[in-house]
Amino acid sequence: MNRAPHAQEKETLLEVRDLSIAFASGRSLLMAVDRVGLHVATGETLALLGESGCGKSATALALLRLLPAAGRIVGGQVSFAGRDLLALPETEMRGVRGGGMAMIFQEPATSLNPVLTIGHQVAEVLVRHLGLAGSEARARAFELLTAVGIADAARRLDEYPFQLSGGMKQRVMIAVALAANPRLLIADEPTTALDVTMQAQILELLRRLQVERAMGMLLITHDLGVVAQLATRVGVMYAGEIVEEAPRDSFFSSPRHPYTQKLFAALPDLARRGGRLETIPGQVPPLSGMPAGCRFAARCAHAWQHCREEAPDWRLVGPAHRVRCHLVDGLAAQIGGAASPVASAPAGSSPPAPSVLSVTDLCVHFPIRRGVLQRTVGHVRAVDGVSLELARGQTLALVGESGCGKTTVGKAVLQLLPVAGGSVRLLGEELGACSRAALRQLRRRMQMIFQDPFASLNPRLAVGEIIGEGMRALGTTVDRRHEAAAIAAVLQQVGLDPAAAERYPHEFSGGQRQRIAIARALAVQPDLVICDEPTSALDVSVQAQILNLLASLQVELGLAYLFITHNFAVVDHLADLVAVMYLGRIVEQGTVDEVLRSPQHPYTWALLSAVPSLRLEEQPEFVRLPGEIPSPANPPAGCHFHPRCRQAMVTCGARYPQKTALSGTHSVSCHLYP
């Protein structure tokens, strides 16, 4: 396959030509990657972008010859530093892995060995590739952990993965990958599910290390913000093919393939609030049913008969910018502006909605027990005096770093965790004072959508049984005949065929499973729905479908949402109110415009500075927070944030600040506002 020309030629580290990968299914082979070509030079980053199931990770694993047992490389050539990797014997290939090419896997928690110390796992690479051992290997491991920004690296060498936070585990994975000084780094979704500050730190770290070492990088992601931060060039992958390739600037200024344009239109943007997001109808075609012509034709609004009959060839549309599309010559770029407006009443045009949820000084403290008699020696103050107010038809977003207590608040509101103090009132009823029978009656008024729908849906029950189980338990149906009709109705309400009731969770895609979780929550006709990161691991196209669904259901049913997330673009698109949480307490609260457009607390500034922008000329200056979020078992004296705050004063370490009202809806807890 011919390469797109470079403006400036560098040494090519990786050259992939016509790579084809298939997976064995019975006696047949199903093509997952079809004649893919790409190249990466020293010091540059190629971002491979696309939905789940498009073949990105399979391509990366094939480069290292780490495909699962069913995977087969059925054609093509992979050249790394002048060596044909597909022709190397396994003994020589082991030297390339880690020594020449290294990979940061998507999930560090499952990639690190849970029974080996961090130091042992880093030293394994040093022993294998650099011949270091003993104290020399330990000293080098210490240097690597320090280089990737892990504080107190000497102590961490003797700790195990479970003792580290998600961000620290990701840093350890980077240290392991860089231990043998590889020339090419493959990063597979290196920031998925990390909060914005940790994501920004990881991206900053990768940029710095790449410059210092002149590494090439192959970045696999579905996050356009990460692409804007790191990429030199971008390749868009769909159904096993690369359909567009361009330098980063021209990719963001003028994407040409209809699929790329749809990905942009589906993305919530901090600068574009409201409206229904564009969605991509249908799904990525299965391996067993790849179409003959353009593989995107079935989902493309511009497709015509020729698209369905003949696969398009590459067309050059700009300097080093090429695309596979029959319509590219007459297809104008259509970024943004595609969202249709949402019908909403102007501010102040109607009386305030009645309160659904009122939380006052909520505390959740977990006892710390030690000794043979398990005496209580302290408490983990996971939630320490949180107050929230949520009206019917409103969305309150609860944001903050991982470990700050957001999910604990949601579970405590539902009385799924013991409450140490404070008040939770639902529709005027004090939940803490309710008997078990009375609380059971109120449970149908409040429901939760969990972060991982696959883990929260019973794999042994059909979808209809999953939904009906809650309806029967909470007494919302009288007999099975009415129950079947109600299940069919709620499945239609969330955009699923009623026939889905007979299928099992594993038969659905991630987005469809999230719709099932939403249907289960809605089946008992709640007034309050707590959404715990419902879109964190979804592609932007599926995320757009879920956000549109939640918005339309809220208008239709008058639902109140407590939306727990670290995605500020989603907050800006969906929420009415925002509460910023740090170490168990609310530090700033107000409307979306007040908090996101005019943040007042230094912690809120830091969070917003970490949000990557799709506008390359508007990348915010990242306010790097020193250290990590302290332990809620031993919070700092005074303002909990002051050890990490650039504007901390003597008063900040002496006492916790009182809440200051900046307007009727905007408040902040900070000594900068006496």
**What's the pLDDT tens digit per position in 303-357?**
999 999 999 999 999 999 999 999 876 554 444 444 444 444 333 344 556 789 9
Give the number of C-alpha atoms closer than 13 A to the C-alpha of residue 597, restricted to the C-beta side: 10
pLDDT at position 2 is 47
Would the CA dihedral through 452, 454, 460, 461 be positive or negative?
A: positive
Alpha helices for 194-320 (secondary structure H): 196-213, 224-230, 248-253, 258-265, 305-309
What is d(CA 313, CA 268) in angstroms, rounded to the nearest whole number? 32
CA distances from 598 to 553, 589, 604, 632 (A): 30, 11, 10, 28
Burial bucket for residue 5 (CB in 10 Å: 0-12, 13-18, 19+) = exposed
Q: Residue 361 is encoded by which pair of tokens?
A: 């000084």
Length of the chain: 674
SS3 of 463, please? Answer: helix
**Is residue 142 a contact partner of residue 179, using CB atoms and an 8 Å limit?**
no
Residue 594 φ/ψ, nearest 5 degrees: -65, -45
635 dihedral zone (left: phi>0; alpha: psi -120 to 50; beta): beta
**What's the pLDDT tens digit per position in 238-248?**
999 999 999 99
Q: Residue 646 is encoded by which pair of tokens?
A: 């650039």
**Is residue 546 a contact partner of residue 604, using CB atoms and an 8 Å limit?**
no
Q: What is the DSSP string of 340-408?
A: BPP--PPTTSSPPPPEEEEEEEEEEEEEEEETTTTEEEEEEEEEEEEEEEEETT-EEEEE--TTSSHHH
pTM, two decimal places? 0.84
User: Chain-centre distance of CA 660, in angstroms?
Assistant: 33
Burial bucket for residue 557 (CB in 10 Å: 0-12, 13-18, 19+) = middle
Burial bucket for residue 605 (CB in 10 Å: 0-12, 13-18, 19+) = middle
The angle, 0 to 180 degrees and rounded to 10, between the axes of the packed helices 463-473 and 510-522 is 20
The helix (H) or strand (E) run that includes residue 174 is helix 166-178
User: Chain-centre distance of CA 372, in angstroms?
Assistant: 42
pLDDT range class, residue 283, cuts 50, 70, 90: confident
pLDDT at position 332 is 43
What is d(CA 496, CA 492) in angstroms, rounded to the nearest whole number? 5
**Is residue 426 a contact partner of residue 458, using CB atoms and an 8 Å limit?**
no
Biggest CA pair distance of the chain:
77
SS3 of 78, please? Answer: strand
Residue 489 φ/ψ, nearest 5 degrees: -65, -45
122 dihedral zone (left: phi>0; alpha: psi -120 to 50; beta): alpha
pLDDT at position 351 is 53
The amino acid at residue 460 is R
What is d(CA 347, CA 372) in angstroms, rounded to the nearest whole number? 60
pLDDT at position 77 is 95
**What's the pLDDT tens digit per position in 456-513?**
899 999 999 999 998 888 876 656 778 888 999 999 888 888 999 999 998 887 778 8
Would the CA dihedral through 124, 203, 630, 582 be positive or negative?
A: negative
Least confident piece of the model among 277-291, 340-354, 660-674: 340-354
With CA atoms as reference, report the closest residue to 277 among 491, 535, 520: 535
Q: What is the CA radius of gyration of the chain?
A: 26
**Is residue 456 a contact partner of residue 517, using CB atoms and an 8 Å limit?**
yes
What is d(CA 39, CA 476) in angstroms, rounded to the nearest whole number? 59
Residue 13 has pLDDT above 90, yes or no: yes
Q: Residue 384 is encoded by which pair of tokens?
A: 């320490």
**What's the pLDDT tens digit per position in 150-162?**
878 898 999 999 8
Domain coordinates of the chain in residue numbers?
A: 111-179, 392-418+426-445+526-669
**What's the pLDDT tens digit per position in 503-540?**
999 888 777 888 899 999 989 889 999 999 888 767 88
**Is residue 207 a contact partner of residue 44, using CB atoms and an 8 Å limit?**
no
Query: Are β-strands 184-188 and 101-104 bridged in parallel, bridged antiparallel, or unpaired?
Result: parallel
pLDDT at position 662 is 95
CB proximity list for 323: less than 8 A, separation 6 or greater: 243, 244, 245, 256, 257, 314, 315, 317
Q: Residue 420 is encoded by which pair of tokens?
A: 């140490």
Instruction: Return the CATH number of the domain spanning residue range 392-418+426-445+526-669.
Output: 3.40.50.300
What average pLDDT does the chain have?
88
What is the pLDDT averaged over residues 427-441?
90
Q: Residue 29 is encoded by which pair of tokens?
A: 């082979």
Burial bucket for residue 370 (CB in 10 Å: 0-12, 13-18, 19+) = exposed
